[in-house]
Each structure stands twice: as C-alpha cells, then as structure tokens.
C-alpha cells in the first residue's frame, strides 16, 4: 500500500476554467423549470460559480485531511480512505458510495463514525472507516483499465478488507451501488461480514407484485412503474451505450455538471433548490473529481453489467447476514419490508427516517451515522473476537 494525497495540477484547473468560459447553453424548453431535465438558469448559475467562486483547493484539502492509500488490486490501482477510529475497540467499516457519487460524499459523516465522542456520542460506537473510490470511479480509475460490475467490485473490496488490510470480519454500509455491493458481499462473502447497513433497497423491478398486495405493496408497485416510465432513462443509455455518452461528458464540463446536477435535484430532499439539501461546494467537488479524473465512462459500467448480466444478489441466493435499512423519505425507490424480506432473511433494523434522500451521507450525516451505530452496536463482538488480526495500511 502507498500513502496518497490528491494534488490536481494548476494546468488542469486553468484548462477547466477556459472550458467553462466557452460554455454554450441551450434554450430553455417551455414549461416549468426541471420539467424536461436540468434547468438552464440553474445550470448557468452553477457554471458561473464553478468558474469564479468555487475553491477546488479547499475541497482538495478537506479530502487530504484524511489518510488515503492506493494499492494494486484486481488489475487496477485502487484508491481509498483508511481512517482509524477513536475508541476502545473500533469496528472496521467498509463505507461505499455509488453513482454519481464519490468519496467526497463521506467527508462530513466519517468524523461522526470514527470519533463519535466528539459529537456527544459513545466512544464504544467508533468505527475504523475504509472508504474506497469504487473501481472505475474517481481516483480508482486510469484510462484503459479493466471495467467492473457489482460482483467484481464486491470481490475486489472483500480482498481489500480481509487480505490487504487484515480484517477477517468487518461491517459494510452503502447507498446506491454501494448498497448493491454490500448486498452482494452479504450473499457471496457472508463469512467476512458481521452485517450490512444500507440506505437504498434496489429490489428487482421485474418481479411481479403479490397477487393480493397490501396497501404498501401496491404503493411500491405504482412507484416502480412511475420510476421506469419517467426516471430510468439515464439507466438505459448508461447501460446500453455508455461509450457514446462518455464522449460528451468527458469533453464538456458543463455537460457533465448538467448530467450529475439533475440527479442531485431529482433525488435529494430539497425545497426546489439543490443547495437546500446538499452543500453546493461539496456537490461541485464531487462533479469536479469526475472531470479531473476523466472517469465518467468507466463509472457507467455497473449499469452495463447489470443490464447484460446477473442481479447483484445472485439468482437463487439470499442475503442471510444481519441487515439494517435506513428508509429516507425522498429515496428513489422505497420497497416495503415484506418485499425486502424476500431477499434479506435477517432484517434486524428498519428505520423510517424523517428527512433526507438518495445522498444520505451528504444530506443527513448525523442521522445516518446514528442509525449505522445503532444497528452495529449489538453486532460488534463478532468483529472483535479473539484472533482478529491487527489492521495494516499506510
């Protein structure tokens, strides 16, 4: 393992500023803002701020405040954060983002997980956090490297935790693809896990609803139908023609910002303005990381692998490790517990959260950290049994 610090060259910052200055915006379609996708006025303001007001170096320093590493694994140089917990016996926690996210999602929640006492919590709830950039994303991307689907990512991260870092058993948490990876780990690598906590339940949309659905099951079926009709277009293009879309988003920072900001608007618990749910600088840091690394095409690959391969929970398998779920009200899909129980046989915690959406670690870091701690509290002994190897790292 090699210690890592992010340092984007000044030349790359200057090139970005030039490209932003040359942005050519489309006209605004008739109708309400955001009705047909990204609002032109909103994106214009965001681009102007990105060029003239956004401080990349401050965001870079915020990331570099945490210890980071790279390690050659499964044919790529995998990047991640490895942040020791401050407590009597911190539990190793694999913390995973999704699309269009990055490790910038976790900068506000990591201190709450590693040092709960600093936020008025119990130091016995401390975790040692391992937050990788998913293979193909951000700092775990290099041009021409192998592409990874969910199963391949899960295999890679299981090896990172057990063989590279020396944690025979660990906790796992994720949203978006991170939740799918956690679920695959729970089905395929169950012997390494003390449990999984997720904040997205991506159940198979092609499974028919029960013959006599409950009110909650009927609500969910209607929700899935609406999602497939109005919201799943990005999945179709990213899952069928990822290379074509990558040309536009790799060449145009404005196009990249439009593609990603639309998801932050649609998927967060906001009042009409993205900034009411997530910090604008943190969202731009996330977008900028995609830009500087040129990873957007590779980040689409889990969608292609999903549409042309297996579901994250393999056919005929279930997740039998303890599972906890934080149900945020503005999450993109919210299956009832009865549907989830088809795939997760040991649901230990099911928390209906009062506020928040898809980017929970950014929107509601305190609430999410508290739910993660509460779920794993009774499971910690399994991860600290006699014989647990000491962690290794930079």
Residue of 39, 197, 358, 371 marked catalytic = 358
Residue of 137, 167, 220, 303 marked catalytic = 303
Both structure tokens of 87:
């407590």
Judge whether 82 counts as a catalytic residue: no
Judge whether 303 counts as a catalytic residue: yes
Go through the chain and tell me how many residues it has: 394
Judge whether 358 counts as a catalytic residue: yes
Residue of 108, 115, 176, 281 marked catalytic = 176
Cα–Cα distance, 171 to 187 (Å, whole number): 14
The residues that bridge with 127 in the sheet, in sequence order, are 91
**Residues assigned a catalytic role:** 176, 303, 358
């Amino acid at each position: 393992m090699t210690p890592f610090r992010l340092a984007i060259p000044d030349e790359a910052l200057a090139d970005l500023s030039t490209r932003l200055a040359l942005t050519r915006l489309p006209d605004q379609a008739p109708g309400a803002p955001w009705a047909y996708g990204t609002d032109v006025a909103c994106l214009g303001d965001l681009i102007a701020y990105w060029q003239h007001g956004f401080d990349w170096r401050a965001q870079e320093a915020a990331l570099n405040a945490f210890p980071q590493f790279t390690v050659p694994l499964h044919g790529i140089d995998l990047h991640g954060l490895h942040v020791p917990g401050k407590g009597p016996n911190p539990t190793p926690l694999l913390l995973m983002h999704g699309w269009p996210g990055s490790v910038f999602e976790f900068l506000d929640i990591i201190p709450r997980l590693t040092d709960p006492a600093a936020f008025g919590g119990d130091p016995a709830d401390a975790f040692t956090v391992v937050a990788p950039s998913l293979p193909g994303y951000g700092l775990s991307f290099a041009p021409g490297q192998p592409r990874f689907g969910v199963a391949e990512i899960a295999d890679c991260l299981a090896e990172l935790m057990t063989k590279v870092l020396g944690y025979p058993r660990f906790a796992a948490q994720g949203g978006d693809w991170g939740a799918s990876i956690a679920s695959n780990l729970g089905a395929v690598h169950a012997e390494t896990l003390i449990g999984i906590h997720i904040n997205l339940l991506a159940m198979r949309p092609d499974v028919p609803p029960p013959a006599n659905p409950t009110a909650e099951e009927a609500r969910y079926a209607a929700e899935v139908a609406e999602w497939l009709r109005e919201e799943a277009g990005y999945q179709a293009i990213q899952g069928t023609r990822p290379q074509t879309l990558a040309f536009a988003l790799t060449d145009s920072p404005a196009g990249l910002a439009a593609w990603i900001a639309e998801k932050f608007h649609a998927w967060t618990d906001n009042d009409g303005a993205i900034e009411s749910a997530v910090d604008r600088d943190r969202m731009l840091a996330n977008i900028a990381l995609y830009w500087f690394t040129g990873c957007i095409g590779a980040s689409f690959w889990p969608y292609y692998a999903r549409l042309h391969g297996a579901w994250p929970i393999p056919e005929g398998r279930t997740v039998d490790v303890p599972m906890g779920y934080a149900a945020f009200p503005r999450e993109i899909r919210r299956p009832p517990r009865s549907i989830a129980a088809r795939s997760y046989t040991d649901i230990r915690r099911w928390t209906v959260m009062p506020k928040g959406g898809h980017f929970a670690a950014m929107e509601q870091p305190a609430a999410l950290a508290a739910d993660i701690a509460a779920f794993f509290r009774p499971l910690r002994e399994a991860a600290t049994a006699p014989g647990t190897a000491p962690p290794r790292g930079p």
